[in-house]
Amino acid sequence: MAAVMDTEIDPESLALIIEIQLQDLRCMVKGKHTIGHGPDSEVAAQIMEAEVKNLSSFYADRSMSRSIAHALVTDADAISAHVLQEKQAADDRAFALRENPQGARRQPTAIASSSASHGKVAEVKINQKLAALTVDEKKIPSAAELSITTADPSSASKEKSALRHCVACTSDVASTDSVRCPCSHDYCGDCITSLFSAAINDESLFPPRCCKEPIPLDLYKPFLSTTLLGTYEAKKLEYGTLDKTYCHVRTCSTFVPPAFVKDDVATCVKCQSKTCTMCKGETHTDDCPADTLTADFLQIATENGWQRCYSSCRCNAQFCYVCGLKWKQCSCTQWDENRLVARVDNIMGREQGGRNATDAARDALAARTRQNLIENHECEDHRWRSRNVAVWAMGRFTLTLGGSEWM
């Protein structure tokens, strides 16, 4: 029996298995004995037969309930259209009765029919709740659970029809009008909607939760309107963004999703205003004052005399490195003597024998290097090429500048 309980099987095979077991059990109880004083084996067989019959009834009821639930879900549109047609017919009949005073005595029937048709919205919501409460096909009860249920069928029906207690308003509501949270607490539809609305308006309460456990959206979706669901999705994106940016226009203050942020500039989806994502104010053409990293770097550049090109290095922009004006449009000297000497010392240190050369050799090398810098300071003929120093050594690359080679 446990194998039947815990394994998914088609209804036809299950019915055949149950019928064979019933036949076997009937054969076991056939015997001559005093009424009410049968052997223990027959008593056990009779009890087993009752359990098998209960099992058969259970699966038949479950199949029927699943069929009804499936029909309600799949045929919801057809049912709604049929109800709408009935409502239209009832309204037409009511109008005809109002135009015909002689048929006034039949008006209550039309009114009753029209009143019944006004339950369309409620029926649609019930269909959604039934879809959410549909039993999973894989969740088949175990033998122990089913034996407890079949031992007292009335207890199972009582449990199914029992009301649920809302922990918020302390009222008892039907299971189809309530939500059971992962922590096993129940909420009625009105209370779960209130909890949902409070979470939308207060980030500290988002997402909706009970006993510090988030409540899955699928549980309370049937109780919420389309507007609330849309607001929930928008707030979910907003509260999930770490560095939030809102429109700087005070009369707008709309949250700008990350998809509408480019190069630290956020474009409002409502009024199309531009907002700086760093200072959260109106966007600027220059550097943002709130960008401390850029401000610190510019301070270091100013202290060291560095200049800044507002275009990329490939734009071929030429300017004076001292004053920043267009190249050869100022009166600045072409070089600083101290920097020229430092550059000569740097190059001499890389030359072969430059560090260990005699004073006379170093002076000659310094003069040659200084003269090369003066003549070729604007040299653009530079390229890397490979040179084999020795057969046993790997090829090294040298940079050729104006005829001079630098390792």
pTM beyond 0.75: the answer is: no
- Could you tell me if 407 and 398 are in contact, meaning their C-beta atoms sit under 8 angstroms apart? yes
Cα–Cα distances in angstroms (integers) from residue 229 to residues 222, 306, 362, 400, in the given order:
10, 55, 81, 68
Q: What is the pLDDT of residue 364?
A: 80
Helices and strands, number each (H, E), in the chain: 14, 12
Q: For domain 163-239, give the CATH number.
A: 3.30.40.10
**Is 15 exposed, middle or buried, given 0-12, 13-18 or 19+ CB atoms closer than 10 A?**
middle
Domain with CATH 3.30.40.10 in the chain: 163-239
Quote the strand ranges of 206-334, DSSP E: 209-210, 213-214, 261-262, 265-267, 274-276
pLDDT of residue 403: 46
pLDDT value of position 405: 46
Residue 350 CA to residue 369 CA, distance in Å, equals 12
**Distance in angstroms (rounded) separating the CA atoms of residues 380 and 145:** 88
pLDDT at 177: 82
The CA distance from 247 to 282, in Å, is 9
Residue 173: strand, helix, or coil:
strand
Alpha-carbon distance of 150 to 146, in angstroms, equals: 6
Would you call 340 exposed, middle or buried from its count of C-beta atoms within 10 A (0-12, 13-18, 19+)? middle
Q: What is the pLDDT of residue 8?
A: 58
Q: For each of the chain's 407 residues, which pLDDT tens digit applies?
A: 444 444 456 777 777 787 787 777 777 666 655 555 566 677 777 777 788 788 778 877 777 777 776 666 666 666 667 777 777 777 777 767 766 655 545 444 444 444 444 454 455 555 555 555 554 444 444 444 544 444 454 544 444 446 889 999 999 988 888 888 889 899 998 898 898 889 888 888 888 889 988 988 887 788 888 888 888 888 888 888 888 899 989 889 889 998 898 888 899 988 999 998 888 888 887 777 777 777 777 778 777 767 665 444 456 667 776 676 776 777 776 666 666 677 777 777 766 565 666 777 777 877 887 777 777 765 554 555 555 544 444 444 444 444 444 44
For residue 292, the Cα-to-chain-centroid distance in whole angstroms is 33
Please say whether the beta carbons of 238 and 255 come within 8 A: yes
Q: Using only C-alpha atoms, what is the Rg of the chain?
A: 44
The HSE-up count of residue 244 (CA atoms within 13 Å, CB side) is 13
CA distance 116 to 120: 8
- Determine the pLDDT at residue 74: 66
CA–CA dist 93, 166 (Å, integer):
43
Task: Enter the tokens of residue 58.
Answer: 């259970």
- CB within 8 Å of 48: residues ≥ 6 apart: 25
User: What is the C-alpha separation between 220 and 190, in angstroms, rounded?
Assistant: 10
Confidence (pLDDT) at 167:
92
